[in-house]
Chains A and B, each alone.
Chain A
Amino acid sequence: MEQIAAPSPGRDATRRTAAEIVAALVGVAVLLQLAEPQRFAWVQTAFIIFGSLLIQALPFVLVGAFASAVIEVFVPGRVLERLADLPRPLQLPAAALAGVAMPICECGSVPVARRLAAKGLLPSAAVTFMLAAPVVNPVVIASTYVAYRGREGMWTMVGGRFLLGMIVAVVVGWTVGAVSKDGLLKPNPEDAHAHPVELGRPEPRWRRFFLHLGGDFLFMGRYLVLGATFAALVQTFLPASWISKVAGLPVISLGAMMLLAALLSLCSESDAFIAASFVQFGHAAQLAFLVFGPMVDLKLGTLYAGTFRKGFVRTVVLASFATTLVATMWLQVLSG
């Protein structure tokens, strides 16, 4: 017989909070109907971009959470720990190459990298994988090819994106160094419920799979919503023309394109079409946009901030920026 029939203050508080949240959401819906905020063009634009970013990105986050749950529940920890024993000079390029097998955009690679590090893979290798996957996977490379097809320098852009993506990811992984997983990852409150026992035994695998799946999605989802909000506001107010003013300045143009990529927060599967539209910029600047954007942007910034510790986020942002800048400067010099 179950023994929780009697009402308790805790359960009452749960119900009260649930009722408050539902009432708040209904209130928001009613307010939207009455106030018609879409009368204001900028509000409507921001809502549309916000919604489209979420609708496109959430399934990828969920796919990433699926992969993450599979790693957690079905991949034995000793496999990843054995990989962690390999020398780092071997692990990092291998992790970057493994990104080729992950045909999803940047939002999906974060939960996977988090789980790989938590499960025993060398944290710097997990970071290398996370940064490389959205740049070097076949879908992204194919979309880059389509965007530049028939244009001068097509192979520079396609090959350059792949190579530069690998190089930057490995260098950032190397910069992260021998940090431990506790030094890398923030605790996920959802994980507190992810190792439950039933009558002294671990829960069945299928139950643990769904717990991890939901947990990762909920954890990443909140940061995605926040990041999409920032990105939508920036996209609403930022005219594309501002950047044209620095197109002719050698180093500044590279930095400006990286900044633009970070602000626009585009999916790595479509950003080549936007990069190609900046014809006033050279190949080096367009490559800077294509390599840096999938590694650091507003949407990812909130995901990183929620997943990784503060110092790490700073390291990734600075190392990605510096490596991309130096590499594309060389390209700029070599291509005249």
Chain B
Amino acid sequence: MSDALVPPGPVPLGTTAAARHWSPSRLAGGSVLGVWAVLFWWLLLTGRENFYLSTRTQWVVPVGATLLTLAALGRLLTARTTQREPVRRREAWIMGAVVAPVVLIMALPPATLGQFSAGKRSSFASSGVATSAADIASGELTLVDVAAGQTTPEGEAALAARAGETVDFVGFVTRYDDTPADELFLTRYVVTCCVADATIAQVRVVNVTPGAFEPNDWIEVTGAIYPIGREVIVNAASAVAVERPSRPYLTP
């Protein structure tokens, strides 16, 4: 027995030639496109795209929202037809599965990668996105500058020349099994396109109050920086809890 939800085949005799029906197939397809369009508009309006994409690739959100809206409207405008176009039950459930990620993304609170992934990701310190030595040598030092400065001997030298200067970094707390109680790692993910390509930028922070912060807490650390070889240490003059930034990932 067919599992088609609407009997397939030609329109029965006696139907006028011009009779049009709502095509279940086109309506269902248009609805799926529409739901995805809603997600992209929602990402855009709420700023949630910051939790999934880098600033370099966020243009895909308005473009995706516009194209999906056009595609959905176009599909729905064609939904009245003289042909019967049944949707099989299996096909209908597959369309439901295609919509499920939208529910997942919209139902869950905004979240970022945290300590769990830090040990599994490549270190940005060995990544190819290098800030030039001249940039590192002058101006305010950022976490990206510090991490990228370790990619080349020139960058490392430029960073070493700034030893003792005061820096101000925001990141989340990472601790490993052998991290002393009065130290922590300040970590930030660097995202080039989407979170799937995240790498880590990390400094060791010393002289923090033991037990003051838990892993994944967002903190702001101010203190003197001491690049020692491939490790960068910040001697904390102050470390305070802060809200997670609206753009939690850095862009190289």
- Interchain CB contact under 8 A, B197 and A222: no
Chain B, 35-89, CB within 8 A of any chain A CB: 36, 40, 43, 49, 51-53, 57, 60-61, 63-64, 67-68, 71-72, 74-75, 77-78, 81-83, 85-87, 89
- Given A10, A44, A207, A278, which contacts B122 in the complex, CB threshold below 8 Å? A278
**Residues in B whose Cβ lies below 8 Å from that of A265:** 196
9-residue interface stretch from A117-125, A141-149, A172-180: A141-149
In the assembled complex, B152 has its CB within 8 A of some CB on chain A: yes
In the assembled complex, B93 has its CB within 8 A of some CB on chain A: yes
In the assembled complex, A197 has its CB within 8 A of some CB on chain B: yes
In the assembled complex, A7 has its CB within 8 A of some CB on chain B: no
A264-B106 Cα distance, complex, nearest whole Å = 25
**Residues in B whose Cβ lies below 8 Å from that of A183:** none
Question: Interface on B for A, CB 8 Å cutoff?
Answer: 4-7, 14-21, 23-26, 28-30, 32-33, 36, 40, 43, 49, 51-53, 57, 60-61, 63-64, 67-68, 71-72, 74-75, 77-78, 81-83, 85-87, 89, 91-101, 103-109, 111-117, 119-124, 126-130, 132, 151-152, 192-197, 199, 252
- Interchain CB contact under 8 A, B93 and A21: yes
CB-defined interface of A182-204 with B at 8 Å, one 1/0 digit per residue?
Answer: 00000001101100111100010
**Residues in A whose Cβ lies below 8 Å from that of B115:** 41
**Residues in B whose Cβ lies below 8 Å from that of A32:** 103-104, 107-108
- Interchain CB contact under 8 A, A56 and B63: no
**Residues in B whose Cβ lies below 8 Å from that of A232:** 196
Question: Interface on A for B, CB 8 Å cutoff?
Answer: 1-4, 8, 10-11, 13-14, 17-18, 21, 24-25, 28-29, 32-33, 37-38, 41-42, 44-45, 47-56, 58-60, 62-63, 65-66, 146-151, 189-190, 192-193, 196-199, 203, 206-207, 209-211, 213-215, 217-218, 221-222, 225, 228, 231-232, 235-241, 264-267, 269-279
B252 to chain A, nearest CB (A): 7
A14-B77 Cα distance, complex, nearest whole Å = 20
A198-B78 Cα distance, complex, nearest whole Å = 12
**Residues in A whose Cβ lies below 8 Å from that of B152:** 150-151
A242 nearest CB neighbor, chain B only? B120
- Interchain CB contact under 8 A, B78 and A210: yes
**Residues in A whose Cβ lies below 8 Å from that of B113:** 45, 48
- Interchain CB contact under 8 A, A33 and B107: yes
Given A270-B197, A277-B124, residue A14 in contact with residue B5 (CB < 8 A): yes
Given A238-B120, A240-B120, residue A2 in contact with residue B82 (CB < 8 A): no
With A218-B29, A278-B122 known, 10 other A-B pairs at CB within 8 A are A14-B5, A17-B5, A17-B93, A45-B113, A55-B49, A59-B64, A189-B91, A221-B32, A221-B98, A232-B196
